[in-house]
Structure 1
Amino acid sequence: MKTIDKVAWLHLHEGRLLSTRSRGKDRYYIPGGKREAGETDAETLVREIKEELTVDLEVASLQHVGTFKAQAHGHPTGVNVVMICYSGHYTGTLQPAAEIEEVVWLRYQDRSLVSPVDQKIFDWLREQQLFAE
């Protein structure tokens, strides 16, 4: 069984979760990405968020929120993704860059628009009462 290792940034504002859509994709994804050889979680996240959203994460503010696993969207059955999720502060202005076409703020009601692992994260955020109703 193959596992895709990803690190993600959970950023909520006024009860909505920051999410992105890459060019040519039909789903929204929580920002972040795959680890490069030898990178720590923080290094991966800082690099990916800078590339995708042009902002700088404040490393000292990063806090592990949870780790979630599900079938990887768009991959054959049996390919799972493990998302190690962090929250943290940033500096700069959020804007789409690299392969990111759209930046959106999603509510729990938008759960059907995201990948299976993101749906698990949406459920967890709702259980924690972090989404605005």
Structure 2
Amino acid sequence: MKTLISIIQPRLEQAQLLPDGLWELLDEQAYLDYRDSADFDAAWIAAYQKLHRDGLKPVEQEQMQEWSRLAFDQVIRASGSGDLAAYIADDIDLIFCAHLLGVEDEFVHWLAECYAEQRLPA
């Protein structure tokens, strides 16, 4: 996971989390429906519930908020969709929180791989 974080973090900080052309090809409603599907939602929630955020130091919590904000801002500027921006910001939060807490989770690892490859989890 550390290797994936080392790929995602600089892209996030350089406003290059996802490629610009991605949004033109994306069927936004179909993707949002996929994200809202029972299987995806259940896997996301299960991963989230493994994280005990009270184990984060205040400086780590602030950094997590900054990374999430960066992701949200980039996606809303590029796509114009608050829903997409919120989902992606939540994914980034989940990925970095798991990393900081040292939590290994197959679903979170898959999310991180997707973003490291500059594609949406699907």
Instruction: Pick the structure with more helix per residue.
Output: 2
Instruction: Pick the structure with more strand per residue.
Output: 1
